[in-house]
Amino acid sequence: MPARLPPLNALKAFEAAARHLSVKKAAAELNVTPAAVSHQIRTLEEYLGVQLFHRYNRALELTDAARACLPKLREGFDCLVKAVEVLRAQKGTGTLTVSAAPSFAARWLMPRLHRFFQAHPEIDVALSARIRQVSEGGKGTVAERATIDAWLADSDIAILYGRGDYPGFHVDKLLSLTVTPICSPRLITGPSPLARPEDLRNHMLLHDDTGDHYDGESFWDVWLKAAGVNGIDTAHGPHFSHAVLAFEAAVEGVGVVATMPVLAAADLYAARLVTPFALRVPLVSAYYVVSTEAATTRPAVAAFREWLRNEAAREEEI
């Protein structure tokens, strides 16, 4: 009879805390509280009858027993991940699950998705608009990797804003991005017309917080720096967690938002919004299509990735 295993959550908490030598960082990676991580580790120690950490005021130190078991534990987690990927890769054409940020899903993917249905009527698509967790560590951290792992645990494909450095995954760059001010056409010729970038100081700045959250620099700071404009206070004005919300405020004439015009294409085409200045500043980040190597072998996944690449290639950014 196989030996009874300790609780999986307790093992995960121990492995994360051992890797970081920090309960706080382990909690950020696992999206739980530090108290929950500490409780799981104590539960594991009680279960095993073995002390795993020497605890000091501001530090953790592995015991000899913990240090000895870690390599095999990590090997076991790697095997579990690979086993799940093999199982998921066995799914037939069936339903294709796609995760994307709400603004990208609503403003870029949805207006085009009918063309995929026409080309592949045999494939059903389940689209999930999801919000990524942001930690103090920022981009490229273990916390970001944990978020990607979570998205791909129940999705075949994730479309991510980032820098594409996702080792262990199949990654394709989908869209290069720029930022520029966008506003209602009423502001161009209103009481304080927008003729020059310096005129922005007479208008409320709306903030799409994508840049702050994932790049550590606001889109307004990126654009104004490139435009050579000083003396405009970017610390004030309404903030929006998603570009789509900032677009709605801009359409109503509330103010001007610095954001990605690729997501405002429909409003720009219909002249509900305009770009008052020609300067578009390239971003380091882009949109990437990400999936596990195992999922990429599925015909439905391969078809959707190819369709995404074709859609990105056929339409230039407005």
**pLDDT tens track for 186-208:** 999 888 889 999 999 999 999 99
Average pLDDT, the chain: 87
**CATH number reported for the structural domain that contains residue 249 in this entry:** 3.40.190.10
Q: Is 184 in contact with 193 (CB distance < 8 Å)? A: no
Domain membership flag for residue 3 = no
181 and 226 co-located in one domain: yes
Residues 192 and 240 in one domain: yes
E-assigned strand segments in the chain: 53-55, 60-62, 95-100, 124-129, 157-162, 169-182, 205-208, 239-240, 256-259, 281-292
Last residue of a domain, one of 73, 89, 105: 89
214 part of a folded domain: yes
* pLDDT the model gives residue 59: 82
**CATH number of the domain bearing residue 42:** 1.10.10.10
Phi, psi of 180 (to 5 degrees): -160, 155
Strands 239-240 and 205-208: parallel
pLDDT at 76: 83
Is residue 256 domain-shared with residue 192, that is, in the same domain?
Answer: yes
What is the pLDDT at residue 140? 46
* Pair 127, 248 in one domain: no
Which is higher by pLDDT, 90 or 165? 165
Classify residue 2: in a domain, yes or no. Answer: no
Closest CA to 44 of 1, 5, 81, 80: 5
| Residue at 78 is within a domain | yes
Contacts 24+ apart (CB under 8 A), 22-29: 22/60, 23/60, 25/137, 25/142, 28/135, 28/136, 28/137, 28/143, 29/135, 29/142, 29/143, 29/146
Is residue 1 situated within a structural domain?
A: no
> What CA–CA distance (Å, rounded) separates 158 from 138?
19
Has residue 258 got a pLDDT over 80?
yes
The predicted pLDDT at position 106 comes to: 94
pLDDT at 31 over 80: yes
Does residue 277 share a domain with residue 291? Answer: no
Per residue in 209-254, pLDDT (tens digit) is: 998 888 889 999 999 999 999 999 998 999 998 899 999 999 999 9
Write out the residue range of the structural domain in which residue 203 sits.
177-283
pLDDT tens per residue, range 263-289: 999 999 999 999 999 999 999 999 999
Q: Which of 252, 97, 109 is nearest to 183 (CA)?
A: 252
Cα distances (Å, whole numbers) of residue 76 to 17, 30, 79: 17, 18, 5
Same domain, 37 and 114: no
Amino acid occupying residue 33: T
Domain tally for the chain? 3
Report the C-alpha gap between 141 and 184 in whole angstroms.
38
Residues, the chain: 318
